[in-house]
């Protein structure tokens, strides 16, 4: 049994101890709880470390796989093309079609590998966390998307005055470019009109990317943010299903949240919420 013993000595005028007032309390239960808490904390710290390690391993695995697979894939494609060129007279139409399918598959695989590489790089971008003016980010993104924008008649992208936030510049361009490209890609029959709202509050930056596109059934609001999850075939809308997973990773690395509000045939708004307090950030 553990006890906590507190005593106070009462003395007479001459300073002699004449009485002692005290109390003794059984603190065995408190001790047990303290010990349990220490054990739980140690266990928690151990698990957090294991999780961080396995995350790191997974990321370097994704990086190595996507990087190293590109070379053998190049070999496959170039030898198939060589085969087609060199033995053109010997291969019948069906054979040529098979080669075409194989080359097409290899080229899709290459796109997936490049996207996977981009995904595994999130969080390791050069430049670190700095003040990033999101208006400048928008200007950059529009420059990058100029040819796409020009190819879609009457398409418009407008935005509110946007804040300057603490983030990585390259990742912010990636984030907004993915969302804006999707807003144009998943357009309906009417010309795409995209608007970027700034609804920030005292504590949070809140930015919404609204489009007037095909919209998303609420059944899939969570699914679309998972890597490789797509709602359409590659024939109808090209893509690998990594864009929104990259957006989620970028936002969550900044301790923020991303979600979608949408109605089929009306359009979608992708919301990004980031804490303002730099204490939260990295
Ligand atoms: P990808 O565009 O390569 O398929 P994303 O991760 O960017 O990959 O998007 C995942 C899925 O979410 C898309 O396949 C599409 O079905 C849906 N989606 C994303 N953005 C929009 C949007 N603005 N409007 C409608 N659907 C969208």
* pLDDT higher than threshold 50 for residue 281: no
User: What's the rounded Cα separation, in Å, for the pair 175 and 244?
Assistant: 8
Short-list 80, 111, 86, 105, CA closest to 228? 111
CA of 43 to the centre of ligand 1 (A): 40
Side-chain-side CA neighbours of 59 within 13 Å: the count stands at 15
Report the pLDDT value the prediction gives residue 278, as an integer from 0 to 100: 59
Give backbone dihedrals phi and psi of 11, rounded to 5 degrees, phi first.
-115, 155
Which of 187, 230, 247, 266 has the most ligand 1 atoms within 8 A of CB, as the residue to mutate? 230
Report the pLDDT value the prediction gives residue 64, as an integer from 0 to 100: 84
Which of 112, 229, 244 has the most ligand 1 atoms within 8 A of CB, as the residue to mutate? 244
- Lookup result for tokens 């490209």: 181
Among 3-7, 54-58, 94-98, the range scoring the smallest mean pLDDT is: 54-58
CA of 132 to the centre of ligand 1 (A): 26
Instruction: Identify the three-state secondary structure at position 150.
Output: helix
Alpha-carbon distances, residue 138 vs 144, 164, 175, 190, 208 (angstroms): 10, 12, 10, 23, 13
What is the value of pTM for the model shown? 0.79
Protein residues whose CB sits closer than 6 Å to any atom of ligand 1? 178, 182-183, 186, 211, 213-216, 224, 230-232, 239-245, 268
The first and second tokens of residue 145, run together, are 């998307």
| DSSP labels, 218-280 | GGGTTGGGSTT--SS-TTTS---S-HHHHHHHHHHHTT-EEEEEEETTTEEEEEEEEES-TTT
User: In which band, very low, low, confident or very high, does the pLDDT at 126 lie, cut at 50, 70 and 90?
Assistant: confident
């Amino acid at each position: 049994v553990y006890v906590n013993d507190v005593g106070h000595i009462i003395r007479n005028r001459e300073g002699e101890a004449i009485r002692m007032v005290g109390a003794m309390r059984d603190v065995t239960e408190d001790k047990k709880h303290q010990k349990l808490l220490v054990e739980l904390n140690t266990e928690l710290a151990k698990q957090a470390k294991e999780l961080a390690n396995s995350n790191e391993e997974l990321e370097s695995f994704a990086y190595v796989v996507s990087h190293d697979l590109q070379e053998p894939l190049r070999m496959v494609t170039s030898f198939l093309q060589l085969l087609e060129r060199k033995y053109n007279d010997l291969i019948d139409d069906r054979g040529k079609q098979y080669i075409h399918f194989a080359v097409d598959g290899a080229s899709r695989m290459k796109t997936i590998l490049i996207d996977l590489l981009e995904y595994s790089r999130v969080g390791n971008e050069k430049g670190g966390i700095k003040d990033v003016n999101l208006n400048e980010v928008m200007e950059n993104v529009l420059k990058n998307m100029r040819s796409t924008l020009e190819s879609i008649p009457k398409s418009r992208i407008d935005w509110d005055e946007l804040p300057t936030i603490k983030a990585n510049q390259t990742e912010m361009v990636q984030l907004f470019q993915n969302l804006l490209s999707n807003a144009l890609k998943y357009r309906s029959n009417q010309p795409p009109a995209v608007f970027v709202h700034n609804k920030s509050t005292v504590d949070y930056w809140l930015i919404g990317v609204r489009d007037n596109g095909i919209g998303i059934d609420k059944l899939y609001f969570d699914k679309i943010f998972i890597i490789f999850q797509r709602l359409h075939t590659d024939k109808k809308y090209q893509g690998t299903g990594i864009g929104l997973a990259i957006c989620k990773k970028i936002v969550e690395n900044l301790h923020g949240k991303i979600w979608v509000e949408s109605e089929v045939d009306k359009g979608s708004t992708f919301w990004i919420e980031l804490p303002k307090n730099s204490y939260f950030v990295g």
